[in-house]
Chain A
Amino acid sequence: MMDMIKSRWILLKRHRLKLIFWLFIPLFVTVGAVYVTSNVSEDFRVPVAVVDEADVEETDRIIKGLEESNYIRIDHFESSEKDDALRVLEQYQYDSVLVFGEDFEDKILSGERRNMVETYYTDRSFAYSTVKELLASLIQESLNSQRITEQIQDLEMELFNETTIESETILETKNQIDMDSNLVSQNFTFKGKETMEQNDSTIDPWLIWAYVSLLTTVFIFEFVTRETRSETKQRFLYLNYSFKAFMITSFLAMLIVMYMIDLVTLLIIKAMFDQSVSIVSLLIYRAIVNIIVFIVAFYSRSKLSLYRNGLGLIGVLLGLHIIMPFLNGISNFHPVIALVENNNNFVMLFVTILVLTVCLGRNRNARS
């Protein structure tokens, strides 16, 4: 056994720099990618044009509320420029256009709830309903403030036949109550699964790591293709160990090395991004990936062929991954999804090991 491992090391020593590079790249790429996307993704905003024909305190407050949301970018237009804004919208340069009419304040005061704001959108306005919701709740706040003062004053008039309480006092009380209480919240779970609260704006580092390490494993395992297709393989006929035994030992040795690096990766990513997967899932993923790539490498005709097949494999997995959530299907059979969702899929592992044994056992008599 030790002989085989030593020979493996001698054979790989030539490529040790490249090996180290490909072994550690997944970690660096993951960290880099998450860093970049989390910084840049906040700057992706929905462009919305606002035409304020009323120009009162209430509209200022509402527009400010829209600006303060972290996914909207407001462009202000003068009331005379309304047609310009609409024209730009027609050219799909805005997601939507909001127009506050001159009579906005009157409508608030009268408590009329219909058609407070004109909104324009297109068939490509992806974020329109979200923006509309935010706008509606901001308008609702204004209406509520107006209504409450009227109500309390009416109540006082009814009970005591006088109005002593000032509007401002009422509003202050309301704001105080607003800040102090938080009456309703929601807790969302899927039946039978644990909730995984995830910040939507940052991408899961393990997703990136899974695919990058798949690619690098393909690159690392090119030695399998190279040696399986070489002519020196014949010499194994005269040696104590069979070629197959040699390859399996190499495989296990690589697996252990990669496990160690993966554990380091786990610690670092957990420390930096506070996102971790269970160790078991990680080990299973690494095992499955290594086995699949080994099989592909074993049967590839050349280095280029290996890369093409590897790329094809990654493409297929990526494609399935994107479609999976919509198909409600076999999310258990996809290694990356299993890793990200912490499914400890031993079944998949056993199946792959089985396939490996079958593949290696097939050529027992023809070659060794």
Chain B
Amino acid sequence: MWVQIVVILVVLWVLWFVARQPPSTISALKKVGIVALMIAMIVSVLIPQVTTAAANAIGIGRGADLLLYGLTVAFVVYALTQYTRAQANRRVMYQLGRRLALLDAAERYRGRLCHTSTTSPEAGSSEETHRSIAPISTSDEREGDHPCISTSDEREGDHP
């Protein structure tokens, strides 16, 4: 019985740990996991006794059940990371949409707007107007002025 409890705790911890990782880390792990899964499937098909033995060693009845649990965990992890990544993409897209909207509005009301920190209300030049729009930041916390749109989630190494 305690083996099941330990397994459940470890699974929960893995889910929590995995959900916090940026995609660049997860995709490498995913590859490792998939490879491991493939090896396990081949082994279980050619030498069924191995998985049964492995399963029995940790208190699970059948080798197939062991594979099933592993697959379930892998699938849930995958689904959650995909969802998180989709949300990050959505956020970047919304930032772009907002910048377009604000640029368009600044153009329409040129001369009536000002930068929050400067006091000149007659800032009509395009440079002043551009600076009056808040810079895009894709992280939730403001990190200062970023003129370029970049995501903090995806790094250069994450190319499939």
Partners in one complex: no
